Structure 1
C-alpha cells in the first residue's frame, strides 16, 4: 500500500520508535507513522546510509541484500519475479523480540515487506512465523484488505505458519524452503538465495525487525535514524534480556544502539539480571559468546563488543548470576543445541554431540585428560564446515565458555565446583 505523500506526522523521538504506536491496529499505526511514501531507487540509498543491519543474528547490511536481489531481477536471469520473506521463526530459545514486534507493531513489519518488495521488483511478500504469531499477522493483513475496499495492491502480502520453530528452522535457506513447500531444513548452497531460491526465484529473507526498521527509514530518512545510537549501531534495536537458566521471564527493550550492557540489565528490572550479581552474560543468543562481568561497561554494538570477541547477534543478553555453575549451564546449552541440529552434515551429526558430551563430562567433575584442550580441538573441527551456521554458533559459545570460565574449568578438572549447588 503506497501513496504519493505520507500523512503529516511528527517523527518519533528518543528510543521509542518500533514500539511507538499505541496499539497493533492499522488506525493506531497510521496515526503514529502515517502511510508509506512512494518507494523508489533512493530508498535503498537511505537504508544504506541509515546502516540497517540484519537483526536475526548475522548482522548483514540490508541495503546490500536489496541491491543484489534487485540486480538479479533486472538482469532477467530468472523467469519468475523475486519473493521477499520476513523471517519471524525466532527459534533462538533466549529471544522474544520478534514475537513482541508482531504482537505490538505488525503493520510496521508489513510496511517493511512492502518496501523491500517494491525495491527488488517482487509482487509477493510473506511473513514466516509460528502458528500463534501468524494470527496477529493475518489480522493485520485483513485490516489492510478491508481498508483498500477492492483497490489493487502492488504487493500481495501473506503469512506462512511454520510447523516447527526450532533453532535451525530460522536459518534463511530453511525458511525459504518452507515458503516454497519444502521440508524447511538448512541446505549446503552453492548458489545464493539472492540469486536463486528453492523456487528458482531470487529470494530475499530478512528478519522482521530489520524490515520494520526499513519501513521507518523509508518514512523519516537516514539522518533521523542516526539521531540516536552509536557509529557502529545507529538507530534503535530490540533487545531481549533474560536469566540464562530460565528464558521464560524474558523482557524485551527498545534501546539506542550501543547502549552499555550493564545499563540494559538494569533497565530490564529482572532480579536475576542485577549487574551486582552478574557473573557473565551470554551475548547474541545461545549460539553467541560468553562475556565476563568486566564487560558490562561495553556497548551492545560491534565496536564495543569487539575486545571480547562478541557481536550483538540477535540482540540477546542472557545473564548468569554469581551463584550458578557456568560449566553446568554451558553443558545444558550445548546439549540442547546439539539436539536441535538438522542432522544434514558431519558437524551436526558427529561434531556437536561430541562437543556436548565432552562439556557434560567436564561439568560432572570427572577428570579425563585435557578436556579443555579437547573442547578447543573439536570446536576448531566444526567451524565453517556445516551446511548452515548452527555448528559455528555452538563452537563459539563453548569456546568462549572455556576462556571466560577458566577458573571454573580448572576446578571441575579437580572434581570440585566454585559455586554452591553447582552440578558435577
Structure 2
C-alpha cells in the first residue's frame, strides 16, 4: 500500500482524515485549492482562545511532545519562551532535513490553515506579536501564502525560504536564516528560547506540533488521543515495487510490523529508524512499539517518525555506508570535529563495505562511534555515529562477512546524495 492513509480508530480526530478528500495543495499546473478555509472554520478552526494558561495546561496534561525529532514536551518549551524577558517570536518550522521524511511538507501543502491556527495559538501562549513560516518547498509555500491571505490577520506572519539541506531545519539554523544569514547551526548557549530571531526569545516549533496544538484546541475532549498520534513516513524497496512509500497517521504504541505490512514491506528484515537518527535495528524490530519511550528503551529513537525498511536483498552495511556518506557530505563544515569525524566514519565504513582493508577497522569505528556524539553544534555528527554504532552492534556477522567475500550490494561506491532515502511527497 502506498500513498496517504490513517490507522486511527473511526471518529478519532486526526491530521489526515478530516481533509483527505480536499485534494492536493497544488495540481499539475501548480495551482489548486489546498485546504478550504470555509470548511476549516466550520470544523472549529480559528476558534477564540479562552486564554493561554488553560491551553498550556491541556497540552501538558495530554502529554504532547514536539514532532521535530527530539520529542521534548511542548508545554515546557512554550512556557520557557513565555517566561523569558522580551517580546517573543514564534516560528513554524517546515524544513524537514531528513531525506526520508515528508510529513511536514504534506501538512503545509494540504493543511496550511491547521498549521497557521497552531502558530496563532502558540503566539497567544507565548505573548508573541509576530510569526514566521520557514520552509523550502515550492508547493508548500504557495499553499501557505494562499492561506495567509485568507486567515484572520493576527498575528503578523511572514514566510522565509531556505535551501533544503540536512542541517537547515535545526532550530539555531532556522534563527540564523530568518535573521538574514546562512541556514547553519550556531553554538549553544544561548538557545533560541533565550535569544533567537533579532535577539528575542523565540519558539521554533515543528509544523506537526503546531497542527496538533490547533486540533487539541478545537477538540479538547480528544486532547490525549490527538497528542498520542504520529505522522510517520514509511519507505524502502518494497515487496512488489521499487520505492514503496506511504505517509500514515498512527496511534502511539502500534507495532512496527503492522506498519510494514500495510505499506508493502512485509518481507523486511530490518529497519532504519528516526530518519537517519535512530540507527539500524535488526532482530526483534517487528515488535518494537512506535512511541518515544518504547523505542528509547530499545536503544533507538523515533526522531522525525521516518522508517526505512530493509528487505532480504538489502545489505545493512551498504545502507549504513550510504547514510554515513550522505551525512558527511551534508556537514555544515563549521565544527572541525564534525568535518573530521563524519569523514573518518564514512571513509572507513566505505572501505569495510568494499572489503578493501587489510586490518580490522571495526575497533576504530567502535571507538569513534562512542566518542563523537555530543561534540558538534547540531545532531548531524550524533546521527552518523549512531548509524555506525548500531550497524556494528546489531549486524556484526554481516560486517565480518565483508572481509571474506565480495558483497554485490556494496560493489559500487556509496552515493553521498541520500538517494536511497529520499521519499516523494504523496
* TM-score range normalised by the length of the shorter chain: 0.7 to 0.9
Task: State how 1:155-194 maps to structure 2 within 5 Å.
Answer: 155-162=155-162, 164-194=163-193
Relative to structure 1, is the Cα distance of residues 249 and 27 closer, same or farther in structure 2, using a 3 angstrom cutoff? farther
Normalised to the residue count of structure 2, the TM-score between the two structures is: 0.86
Name the counterpart of 2:32. Answer: none
Task: State how 1:220-369 maps to structure 2 within 5 Å.
Answer: 220-221=219-220, 224-227=222-225, 234-243=227-236, 249-268=244-263, 270=264, 273-274=265-266, 277-369=267-359
Shift of 1:345: 0.4
Relative to structure 1, is the Cα distance of residues 103 and 327 closer, same or farther in structure 2, using a 3 angstrom cutoff? same
**Structure 1: gaps spanning 5 or more residues:** 1-11, 229-233
Instruction: Write the distance in 2 (CA, Å) between the matches of 1:261 and 1:170.
Output: 26
| Mapped contact 1:37–1:218 kept (Cα < 8 A) | no
Name the counterpart of 1:140. Answer: 147
Answering whether residue 371 of structure 2 is matched by residue 381 of structure 1, we say: yes
Relative to structure 1, is the Cα distance of residues 182 and 421 closer, same or farther in structure 2, using a 3 angstrom cutoff? closer
Shift of 1:186: 0.4
Instruction: Write the distance in 2 (CA, Å) between the matches of 1:247 and 1:209.
Output: 28
**Structure 2: gaps spanning 5 or more residues:** 1-9, 23-34, 413-426
Instruction: Write the distance in 2 (CA, Å) between the matches of 1:291 and 1:250.
Output: 19
Relative to structure 1, is the Cα distance of residues 155 and 69 closer, same or farther in structure 2, using a 3 angstrom cutoff? same
Answering whether residue 63 of structure 2 is matched by residue 63 of structure 1, we say: no
Instruction: Write the distance in 2 (CA, Å) between the matches of 1:325 and 1:242.
Output: 16
Instruction: Write the distance in 2 (CA, Å) between the matches of 1:19 and 1:130.
Output: 25
Instruction: Write the distance in 1 (CA, Å) between the matches of 2:274 and 2:359.
Output: 31
Give 1:89's match in structure 2, choosing from 92, 95, 106: 95
Instruction: Write the distance in 1 (CA, Å) between the matches of 2:39 and 2:301.
Output: 34
Shift of 1:249: 4.9
Shift of 1:251: 1.1
Normalised to the residue count of structure 1, the TM-score between the two structures is: 0.86
Shift of 1:14: 2.6
Instruction: Write the distance in 2 (CA, Å) between the matches of 1:199 and 1:103.
Output: 28
Give 1:104's match in structure 2, choosing from 82, 100, 110: 110
Deviations 1:14-36 (A, max 9, x none): 36345422421212222334432
Name the counterpart of 1:37. Answer: 48
Instruction: Write the distance in 1 (CA, Å) between the matches of 2:13 and 2:306.
Output: 18
After TM superposition, the structure 1 stretch with the greater mean CA deviation from structure 2, 329-338 or 243-252, is 243-252
Instruction: Write the distance in 2 (CA, Å) between the matches of 1:375 and 1:338.
Output: 15
| Mapped contact 1:82–1:201 kept (Cα < 8 A) | yes
- Whose RCO is larger (CA < 8 A, sep 6+)? 2
Deviations 1:132-180 (A, max 9, x none): 1211111111122xxx5xxxx4311222121x11001110000111112
Instruction: Write the distance in 1 (CA, Å) between the matches of 2:219 and 2:402.
Output: 54
Instruction: Write the distance in 1 (CA, Å) between the matches of 2:225 and 2:71.
Output: 20
Give the secondary-structure state (helix, strand or coil) at the position aligned to 1:296: helix
Give the secondary-structure state (helix, strand or coil) at the position aligned to 1:64: helix
Deviations 1:345-391 (A, max 9, x none): 02221110110001100100123323221111112232111011111
Instruction: Write the distance in 2 (CA, Å) between the matches of 1:88 and 1:244.
Output: 26
Name the counterpart of 1:214. Answer: 213
| Mapped contact 1:324–1:422 kept (Cα < 8 A) | no
Paired positions, count: 387
